[in-house]
Amino acid sequence: MDKRINVPFTKDEVVTLHAGDYVYLTGTIYSARDAAHKRMYDTMLEGKEIPMELKNNVIYYLGPTPAREGQVIGSAGPTTASRMDKYTPLLLDNGLNGMIGKGKRSKEVIDAIVRNKAVYFAAVGGAGALLSKCIKKSEVIAYDDLGTESIRKMEVENFPVIVVIDSEGNNLYETAVEEFRKTL
Amino acid sequence: MRTIHTDEIIRNVKEMCIEANVHLSDDMEQAIRNAKEKETGTLGKQILGQLCENMDIAASEQIPICQDTGMAVLFVKVGQDVHIEGMNITDAINEGVRQGYKEGYLRKSVVADPLLRENTKDNTPAIIHYDIVPGDQLEILIAPKGFGSENMSKVFMLKPADGAEGVKNAVIEAVKDAGPNACPPIVVGVGVGGDFEKAAILAKKALTRNTTEGSSLPHIKEMEQELLERINKLGIGPGGLGGATTALAVNIETYPTHIAGLPVAVNMCCHVNRHVKRVL
């Protein structure tokens, strides 16, 4: 089912999303990938403040190419989510509501998604030129020294994603492949 | 003896890095467009549609097809009658990569030390495989390799008794395990024979072969076709969300091996299987 929702969103909205929904996101999201996750995680374990608000927000696992003059951002598709698995439960337990990436998640992450009523979306891997068109503003807000891996605050419009793991733990990667196999 | 100046190598490598990241080869582009027409999975078809649109935008606006513009992998055939003038050939290739990734607005994805992980900020060093060949030409093939799919690659040291069936099972196991992570539809590069590292290099080389050609060896060509059929019955589909297009091609390269061994390497590549070749 196609849905249009605004980000950030509350838990009440998260629970209306179901694995398999095609969703267009509009609003503010943040980019962070491997190095930024490690740094945020270490900072949180030390009991210090991290440079982005987690509550109700969505993190996009992204390291874009540099923008040419006149562009908001370069190519901007999702990176593999499983590399963030080690750090994700702590972020979810501290209020993060959603993640955009691609690929499988660990059992620990799925448990944390259910426990916190969060959601994991997939964007289409390898469609970075197309997805860049849905990003209307982009600003590095922290960890500038990490280059492409810095944290960006981004305004998106109708950014296309698919709900892969919903707040009840349903996993589209498992069900969709099973369903398709039945048609063969 | 023919002289080639390294300035020419630098310029060509620079241009090839940029070209490879914005345009797919004709066979790859056609394979994706054909798959979109044939796909029967609902989400799968939608995703292939997005990939076609993505290629159009990348080409018309010079935006890289994928944000992972890869580590620069090069296969260089140096004719033994070529004299390289100017600087060290490896330094020249790295200079070309440096300039290409800067001028092409490509992502710098290389860290200097695998554990300390500080970005080199210019995407060097490249990974360069040299071959010395007869003649007075210099062939450069550049294949920027993304790591979403690279991370799902595997090497299997099989026993001779495992035979063809063992090779096929290894490939299927690797593809199943990769699932959505390798950004399907994928191209599967397979190296069979040689030793531990030769198999892996063959698998990478297999990815650079035209996907419509097939192996020149009849029994290997048959294996490629059978594997493609079996992989596409797994149902993984585009984006791993169900469909008939899990792989666009299976390319296998072979090499003689030891009486005691049957090495098999499976190098996964996403649908952004980039490669550009030039002969100087």
**Structural domain for B250, as ranges:** 148-274
A89: phi then psi, degrees, rounded to nearest 5? -55, -40
What is the per-residue pLDDT for A46? 96
In whole angstroms, what is the distance from residue B12 CA to residue A174 CA?
Answer: 45
Substitution target from B147, B187, B241 for chain A, most A beta carbons within 10 A: B241
Residue A163 scores a pLDDT above 90: yes
pLDDT, tens digit, for every residue of B167-197?
A: 999 999 999 999 999 999 999 999 999 999 9
Residue A20 scores a pLDDT above 90: yes
Same domain as B203, residue B263: yes
Nearest Cα of chain A lies from the Cα of B134 at a distance, in angstroms, of: 39
Average pLDDT over residues B221-247: 97
Same domain as B248, residue B169: yes
Same domain as B215, residue B166: yes
Same domain as B178, residue B84: no
Same domain as B170, residue B141: no
Contact B201, B255 (CB under 8 A): no
Say which residues have a Cβ less than 8 Å from residue A66's Cβ, sequence separation at least 6.
Answer: A74, A148, B105, B106, B107
Residue B152 scores a pLDDT above 80: yes
A79 contacts in chain B (CB < 8 Å): 67-68, 148
Residue A1 scores a pLDDT above 80: no
Same domain as B127, residue B254: no
CA distances from A75 to A122, B19, B241 (A): 17, 15, 23
H/E stretch holding A20: none
Domain contains B86:
yes
Q: Write the residue in A128, A162, A177 that is nearest to B66 by C-beta.
A: A128
Residue B73 tokens read as 């992998």
**Residue-averaged pLDDT of chain B:** 97
Task: Give the residue on A whose Cα is nearest the Cα of B102.
Answer: A66
Nearest Cα of chain A lies from the Cα of B244 at a distance, in angstroms, of: 8
Domain contains B50:
no
Inter-chain touch B148–A122, beta carbons under 8 Å: no
Residue B269 tokens read as 């590549």
Domain contains B46:
no
Q: Quick one: angle between helices B26-38 and B42-61, nearest 10?
A: 150
Domain contains B206:
yes
Same domain as B199, residue B123: no
What is the per-residue pLDDT for A2? 87
pLDDT, tens digit, for every residue of A36-81?
A: 999 999 999 999 999 999 999 999 999 999 999 999 999 999 999 9
Task: Locate the DSSP E strands across chain B.
Answer: 2-5, 71-79, 82-85, 127-133, 138-145, 154-158, 186-194, 247-257, 262-269, 276-279
Substitution target from A60, A69, A71, A80 for chain B, most B beta carbons within 10 A: A80
Average pLDDT over residues B29-58: 95
Domain boundary among B145, B160, B187: B145
Domain contains B30:
no
Same domain as B153, residue B122: no
What is the per-residue pLDDT for B216? 97
What is the per-residue pLDDT for B187? 98
Average pLDDT over residues B41-49: 94
pLDDT, tens digit, for every residue of B61-80?
A: 999 999 999 999 999 999 99
Domain boundary among B115, B145, B175: B145
Length of chain B: 280
Closest CA to B123 of B71, B73, B75: B71
H helices of B23-162, where? 26-38, 42-61, 89-103, 147-150
Domain contains B82:
yes
Inter-chain touch A102–B183, beta carbons under 8 Å: yes
Average pLDDT over residues A3-21: 96
Task: Give the residue on B whose Cα is nearest the Cα of A82.
Answer: B181
Domain boundary among B145, B176, B206: B145
Give chain A's domains with CATH numbers. Answer: 2-182 (3.20.130.10)
Same domain as B129, residue B160: no
Substitution target from B54, B187, B234 for chain A, most A beta carbons within 10 A: B54
Question: Residue B10: which pLDDT band, with cuts at 50, 70 and 90?
Answer: very high
pLDDT, tens digit, for every residue of B228-239?
A: 999 999 999 999
Same domain as B235, residue B161: yes
Same domain as B134, residue B190: no
Number of C-beta neighbours around residue B71 at 10 A: 19
Domain count for chain B, please give it. 2
Same domain as B174, residue B82: no
What is the per-residue pLDDT for A184? 83
Average pLDDT over residues B8-19: 98
In whole angstroms, what is the distance from residue B84 CA to residue A47 CA?
Answer: 58
Domain contains B34:
no
Domain contains B211:
yes
